[in-house]
Amino acid sequence: MTETSDHQTTLQSAVRISDRIRSELLEKVKSEFVGKDEAIDLLGLCLVAGENLFLLGPPGTAKSALVRAVASRLQGQVFDYLLTRFTEPSELFGPFDIRRLRDGELLTNTEGMLPEADVIFLDELLNANSAILNSLLMALNERVFRRGRETRRLGFVLAVGASNRLPEDDALGALFDRFLLRVRCDNVPSEMVPGVLDAGWKLQQANVRGESPSELVSIDDIRRLQRAIPLVDVTSTRSIYVELIHRLRHCGIEISDRRAVRLQRLIAASALMCGRSSTDVSDLWILRYIWDTMDQVEVLAKIVDDAIRNRPSEAVSVTTHPRSRGADAPNAEELNHDLTQIETRLQDPELDRAARSWLMDRASILLSRVEWIANDESRLFLRNRAQGLLQKITVESP
């Protein structure tokens, strides 16, 4: 009875921490980066689960900036490095300690390097060469740094890798496999560019003023949250998860037993992010992001979305993760953010006719997308807001 009570207390604490991550970290970062909600949600999920995330996208799509923005809201050390074909192990893990070497001890000086980091970001990950490959594989998978007779446990809470390409050989494929989830980080659609420019300019102004986040999440809280993951009850979704794994394997998507086991942590993390201590079929949305190639993206989305839509009625939870809706369904938070951008621009006294016309077209597009929102309350709220903005633009048009 005491053990059960302790578990419940731990889970309640974990839910509170995950709620802080969502409200004080993820939502704040979303307000700074337009059109990046998907990548930000997955960064938060991997932070909660203690798993690694891979960002795929061309240069200039804010991959590095997103990771730094998340890390800046954590009270911890960050190790950020751009890999090249010539990167040496000492550049990541630290040089040999000369002082100890004089005493005949071969130890690494890891101060400020990867082994002491709480958050790790490796840009251009797939430039990794054979000299650092084995050390990286062990660090990312087993969370151990080993050099000669020296062995150290690593305590990082999140590792993120980024690249503008996918692996082309087996050695890099093994490194890529250490990143359980993968997400594309592309340039935003053309209609969102004004919002990107506005948000980016405000971010630069904040940097010039030296502003920093006022609310920080401690690394100790993150570690407590990650230790609570195995206490989440996953039994209600086990049979559907097994069936889904079989179906994906049948379609040619390789999921090793090791990956299948570890993916349960992400499913449990999704539940905690929704304030639940047990998983729901909707938490299987995370399986959309286990692709190895671009050809698998649509296949995964279709199979996973079918499994979620066809869930038994008793499995439907009041609280589901926003990403559990169809892969192409509009996000209510993004739509609300876009409507706020329109509302802000309408307050500009120097707004000309061309800009007002563009805002009217943009509001009309958003209004049409609102109808695809699954939640009735959110759909009604956003519909009324979009219609109100259209009316305001029409009335105030010269």
Tell which CATH classification among 3.30.565.10, 3.40.50.2300, 3.90.1170.50, 3.40.50.300 matches the domain 2-187+200-218.
Answer: 3.40.50.300
Six-digit token pair at 344?
């802000």
**Confidence at residue 326, expressed as pLDDT on a 0 to 100 scale:** 61
What is the b/e burial string over 300-317, where b = at least 16 CB atoms within 10 angstroms of the residue's CB? bbebbbebbeebeeeeeb
**pLDDT number for residue 100:** 65
Residue 175 sits at the vertex; the CA angle it makes with 170 and 178, to the nearest 5 degrees, is: 125
d(CA 29, CA 22): 10
Helix axes 235-250, 257-273, angle to 10 degrees: 130
The pLDDT assigned to 140 comes to 94
pLDDT for residue 372: 63
**371 secondary structure, DSSP code:** T
- What pLDDT is stored for residue 313 in this prediction? 44
What is the C-alpha radius of gyration for the chain, rounded to an integer number of angstroms? 23
What local confidence, expressed as pLDDT, does residue 1 receive?
47
**Dihedral sign (CA 160, 165, 167, 169):** negative
pLDDT of residue 258: 92
Pairing verdict, β 74-75 and 217-218: parallel
311-367 pLDDT, tens digit per residue, is: 654 444 456 787 886 655 567 777 888 889 888 888 888 888 878 887 887 788 788
Amino acid at 379: R
What is 77-145 written as a DSSP string? -EEEEE--TT--HHHHH--B-HHHHHTT---B--TTSGGG-SEEEEETGGG--HHHHHHHHHHHHH-EE
Burial degree of 347 (CB within 10 A; 0-12, 13-18, 19+): exposed
* Domain ranges for the chain: 2-187+200-218, 232-324, 332-396
Q: Which residue has the tokens 């993206």?
A: 297
Cα 50 versus chain centre, distance: 11
The model's pLDDT over 8-22, given as tens digits with 9 standing for 90+, comes to 888 999 989 999 998
C-alpha distances out from residue 128 to 96, 156, 162, 233, 302, Å: 21, 20, 12, 38, 33
Q: What does the block give as tokens for 163?
A: 């690249």
Q: What is the largest CA-CA distance in the chain?
A: 82
Low pLDDT (below 70) residues in the chain? 1-2, 100-104, 214, 311-319, 325-330, 368, 371-372, 374-376, 396-398
Q: Which residues fall within 8 angstroms of residue 136, CB to CB, at 6 or more apart?
A: 92, 122, 128, 175, 178
